[in-house]
Structure formats: C-alpha cells, structure tokens
C-alpha cells in the first residue's frame, strides 16, 4: 500500500468462479436438395464444481455473519435436433 491510501477497495471477496461450458454440434445433409438435420449437445458447469453464493456480510445479523449462501446450479445438459428444409 502506498502512503496516503486507506486500503483495498473490497477486501471481502468470494471464491473464484471458474465455470466451463461446452457445446458440440454436427450437421448432416440429406439426399433431398437443401434438407439438413443438425444435432447439438451442450453442457453447463461441465466439471460439476460446487460454487456457493456470496457470504452473508450483514453486520446487523451476527448469528449468520460469514455463512455462505446456497449452492449454484449443478451440471446441466441439453440436446437439440433440428430438421431444416
């Protein structure tokens, strides 16, 4: 810290949030002119890591001060099939 500064802007920070997502897609041409079928698979929170919402920092609630919130959504997957003509 340099002289004259009062401190960090926000010293109370939560854990780092690294949440990788992934998607795969493949298109197939059909025999008919201009017809295709596309398949897509997506995964959110691919590593299925557990992340909690921020800690309770309310000073007027000393019983719950510093407790972590509820967990963020677990891994989710979705699939799509599209027929285009």
pLDDT tens for 6-16 read 655 555 565 66
**All structural domains of the chain with their residue ranges:** 26-84
pLDDT of residue 4: 58
Strands lying side by side in the sheet with 22-29: 22-29, 36-44, 76-84
pLDDT of residue 24: 97
**CA 70/CA 47 separation, integer angstroms:** 19
Q: Which of 11, 38, 34 is nearest to 24 (CA)?
A: 38
Per-residue pLDDT reduced to its tens digit, 26-82: 999 999 889 999 999 999 988 888 777 767 777 777 787 777 777 777 889 999 999
């Amino acid at each position: 810290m340099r002289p004259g500064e009062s401190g960090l802007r926000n010293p109370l920070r939560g854990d780092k949030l690294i949440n990788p997502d992934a998607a795969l897609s493949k298109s197939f041409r059909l025999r008919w002119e201009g017809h295709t079928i596309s398949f897509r698979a997506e995964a959110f929170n691919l590593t299925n890591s557990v992340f909690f919402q921020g800690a309770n920092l309310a000073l007027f609630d000393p019983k719950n001060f510093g407790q972590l919130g509820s967990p963020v959504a677990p891994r989710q997957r979705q699939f799509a099939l599209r027929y285009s003509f």
